[in-house]
């Protein structure tokens, strides 16, 4: 049993079969390059190594875990690379061979991120990675790198919250705009040591990056909606929810975590995605042509929730 004081630490202590099951959810890892964040005592690490990976790179901040990880590395020569460092600053984009890189529109690269995320860093880390997705750098310099991550219940609920749900938040909008997020498994609280006081179950969330076409459709959609509103230059518009919210659609093209967080509110996103799909289907040529066509688009009741910003 691993009990550490002064540190938010929950290791998966459950049986090997269950940990293997968690790892299998990441897909076929044979010959894959895997980046594990916060391996701790190496429970998940062992299962990843058993899956026949080409290389597993782990980043662990706490020096107390390094000797145990070193023993695992000795038992699997050339397979496990240990970095004693911080996942928030580690540059994974330089860690794996260049030859693994794929274009965004290609199938995902054979690179996977797996982690039972340290609770204290889970939110800043996922926001950083979402920003990396939008800029196609960091772990996404390899292409649409897949992530299978375990979050505390509250964070997972926000990541997967659908329109209208109570947990719907900036994080939901940002994650679901940039990725397909799927809740794949819930790890029961008793599977952790020490048993979390407040958390009864730990959902594991799979995050996949959408294809370039889907991404393009979303961008066109948002542009089209802005244009329809007749403010193509400034691309500001107001979304009427419970209270009016102003956001800058330009951010869609160069989203930062902060601006992403305040845009793509549900009525707009639902509507713009519908509109965008129609526009994309009719005018597959360029966003500009799509935008021009969008001006003549007559939206139905959905527009009652969207109002042009009065100057
Ligand atoms: C929730 S535990 C998970 C341990 C193990 N993966 C498991 O599932 O049993 C989180 C681990 O992340 C490590 N950690 C915390 N913050 C970190 C950071 N900024 N960079 C790297 N590792 C970190 C902790 O030391 C701890 O080992």
pLDDT digits (tens, 9 = 90+) for 12-45: 555 677 788 888 888 899 999 999 999 999 999 9
Nearest-CA residue for ligand 1 atom 10 is 118
Q: Is residue 287 part of a domain?
A: no
Residue 218 lies in a domain: no
User: In this structure, which residue's CA is closest to atom 13 in ligand 1?
Assistant: 38
Taking the centre of ligand 1 as the mean of its atom positions, its distance from the CA of residue 191, in whole angstroms, is 16
User: What residues flank ligand 1, with Cβ below 6 Å?
Assistant: 9-12, 38-40, 43-44, 59-62, 65, 86-88, 116, 118, 121
| 251 CA from centroid of ligand 1 (Å) | 33
More confident residue, 309 or 123: 123
Q: Give the position, in ligand 1's atom list, of the atom nearest the Cα of 13.
A: 9
- Domain span at residue 127 reads 11-211
Asked if residue 88 belongs to a domain, the reply is yes
Q: Which residue of 118, 121, 122 sits with most ligand 1 atoms within 8 Å of its CB, as the best mutation to test the pocket?
A: 118
The verdict on residue 294 lying in a domain is: no
Is 86 annotated as ligand-binding?
yes
Residue 45 Cα, ligand 1 centroid: separation in angstroms? Answer: 12
Prediction ipTM score: 0.98
Q: What is the CATH classification number for the domain harbouring 132?
A: 3.40.50.150
Give tens-digit pLDDT for 87-109.
Answer: 999 999 999 999 999 887 788 89
Q: How far is the CA of 5 from the centre of ligand 1 (A)?
A: 14
- Averaged confidence pLDDT in the chain: 66
Shortest-distance Cα residue to atom 6 of ligand 1: 39
Instruction: State residue 215 phi and psi, 5-degree precision.
Output: -60, -45
74 falls within a domain: yes
pTM above 0.90, yes or no: no
Check if the beta carbon of residue 277 is closer than 8 Å to that of residue 270.
no
> What's the pLDDT at 293?
42
Least confident range of 76-85, 118-127, 145-154, 166-175 = 166-175
**Distance from residue 230's CA to the centre of ligand 1 (Å):** 49
**What is the distance in A from the centroid of ligand 1 to the CA of 29?**
21
Provide long-range contacts, Cβ within 8 A and 24+ apart, for 116-120.
116/10, 116/11, 116/12, 116/38, 116/40, 116/44, 116/149, 116/150, 116/202, 117/37, 117/38, 117/149, 117/150, 117/151, 118/8, 118/9, 118/37, 118/38, 118/61, 118/87, 119/8, 119/10, 119/152, 120/8
The token pair at 213 is 């076409």
Residue 110 has pLDDT above 50, yes or no: yes
Task: State the closest ligand 1 atom to the C-alpha of 65, by its place in the atom list counted from 1.
Answer: 27
The number of distinct structural domains making up the chain is 1
How far does the centroid of ligand 1 lie from the alpha carbon of residue 58, in Å?
10
295 domain-assigned: no
Ligand 1 atom, smallest distance to 88 CA: 19
Does residue 168 form part of some domain?
yes
pLDDT (tens digit, 9 = 90+) per residue, 60-88? 999 999 999 999 999 999 999 999 999 99
- Ligand 1 binding pocket mutation candidate from 1, 38, 60, 194 (most atoms within 8 A of CB): 38
In a domain, 311, yes or no: no
Of the listed ranges 133-137, 217-221, 303-307, the one predicted with least confidence: 303-307
pLDDT digits (tens, 9 = 90+) for 190-215: 665 555 555 445 555 555 555 555 54
């Amino acid at each position: 049993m691993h009990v550490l004081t002064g540190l938010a630490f929950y290791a998966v202590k459950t049986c090997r079969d269950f940990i293997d099951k968690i790892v299998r959810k990441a897909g076929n890892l044979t010959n894959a390059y895997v980046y594990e964040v916060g391996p701790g005592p190496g429970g998940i690490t062992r299962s990843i190594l058993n899956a026949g990976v080409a290389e597993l790179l782990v980043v662990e901040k706490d020096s107390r875990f390094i000797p145990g990880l070193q023993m695992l590395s000795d038992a699997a020569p050339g397979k496990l690379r240990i970095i004693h460092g911080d996942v928030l600053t580690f540059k994974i984009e330089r860690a794996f061979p260049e030859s693994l890189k794929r274009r965004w529109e290609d199938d995902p690269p054979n690179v996977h991120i797996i982690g039972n995320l340290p609770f204290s860093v889970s939110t800043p880390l996922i926001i950083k990675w979402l920003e990396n997705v939008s800029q196609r750098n960091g772990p996404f310099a390899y292409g649409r790198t897949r992530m299978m991550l375990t979050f505390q219940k509250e964070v997972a609920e926000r990541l997967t919250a659908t329109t209208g749900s109570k947990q719907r938040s900036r994080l939901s909008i940002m994650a679901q705009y940039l990725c397909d997020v799927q809740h794949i498994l819930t790890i029961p609280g008793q599977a952790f040591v020490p048993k979390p006081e407040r958390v009864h179950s730990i959902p594991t969330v799979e995050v996949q990056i959408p294809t370039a076409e889907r991404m393009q459709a979303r961008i066109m959609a948002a542009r089209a909606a802005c244009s329809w509103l007749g403010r193509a230059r400034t691309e500001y518009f107001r979304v009427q929810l419970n209270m009016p919210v102003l956001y800058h659609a330009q951010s869609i093209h160069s989203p930062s975590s902060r601006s992403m967080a305040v845009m793509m509110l549900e009525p707009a996103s639902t509507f713009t995605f519908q509109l965008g799909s129609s526009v994309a289907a009719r005018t597959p040529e360029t966003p500009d042509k799509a935008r021009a066509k969008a001006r003549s688009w007559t939206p139905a009741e959905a527009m009652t929730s969207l109002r042009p910003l009065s100057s």
